[in-house]
Structure 1
């Protein structure tokens, strides 16, 4: 029996698809700009390469700057160094063991504490990524290895990736204890760090910061703007200030899928078809390069018996 499935695919624009950006010359805060873009287009602009930067500078004005979608979400911007989604089970990316005394962590003191160390008692503390610390790497067969060479977080990450797999990611309390044992009483870097996210959930790693940026001056510059006077380079800005902004439109396509199956799917509901067939298909699309915010929606199903 063949199952014919008609879909609507919602694909946030990437470098592989045609872009359509929109410059809105109305001063708004970053949150107001985000709401406007979502109501009238798709979202605040996500950029994937220098061609996108050039497209925005040609659309924008000659002076000043404009919001794009990159921002620090404070609560949700913590990410592990190991980014392979298959490494984590349900909720394993959200395990935390922050220190609570004498100050509740993370406190992001002076806006500069974007990386994480494990304290001698196994709890976690946020610290500046430039601090030189020992670190624990994650290796083959779920091993954890202490390196007492004191490096910055970025250099520690590079060392772990060159010699093992990555900086230690901690998915649960059992692994936290293993890293604690490996640390052997040292204060060590682990793989958790705070990184800016795109408003639409895209996984684009492209960055175009102006020299010295982001500096997060005063600890409150958590949103990103394109500077027209600096060839489209980016600066971090206070999200509550108002400025023009860039939105983008997404590409929507119709898809036809034919599934050859020996199983009788006659009695499946559309919700069950989405769970059994569409969800794995979507995961495969994302693994092969489409953004995490790509979605699929069931439009119509009909069956062909052979």
Structure 2
């Protein structure tokens, strides 16, 4: 079938303000990292994966004033060193952001200190080839009397759930150049939530996460997918911000169809895109009269495409 790129992002009409795609659980029991991982996988989804500074703020709230906890980051014994961009999801951001504002900081800092400064004062170190090739960035770099750091780094650390998120929030004493193999990461809330590497056999509290999004590898039309999600879970998934997009696109890589249905549909009557709204469960059938629905590309850049609602695809449900 013919697929058309949807050129809007987060502009569809929505019937709610906030919906978290995952929840955190602070477990105030002292376990080593492996025991904590096993507990989280049995009771929830896994040890927590942290993808950005908003996640860090939510972790602090979940800890309720506690001082520290294991997270799901570990350094495997024989793990290869992999290159990452400091700004998580930069490939997607490059396709959606059309304006940038860059700042050359003429203070001399280590790379770790520079990353911390940028996250506290701005967004992050510049990341991605598109930002580096921006003419404004080139001019700023030429104007500097010193070598300028940007947001590319390499490490051997991996997330327990197998995701490839590049976000790191190490304390300023952390040395990524030395061998840390066989160690695990903990967040220290008394140090602004910054991370510290520790022997994995140490016994500490820990944080689990509950994933509320599930990829259904059954091929259904958009309305069949909507009905399935509401009968067996909660609803088709809604993406309301860039952080949600980054989480969902990681899961889309596992799909068995080239596109995956989202809870997005178009109304010719209203001439607008809408998100599904469980508060008004018949809305989709009343105004989805075009046969056009939104799906995410399973590979590539995970862009959103408009497709025929009768096409049978995998789909994302939001768990209750």
Taking structure 2 as the reference length, what is the TM-score of the superposition? 0.41
Taking structure 1 as the reference length, what is the TM-score of the superposition? 0.43
- Structure with greater Cα Rg: 1
Which fold has the larger relative contact order, with Cα–Cα distance below 8 Å and residues 6 or more apart in sequence?
1
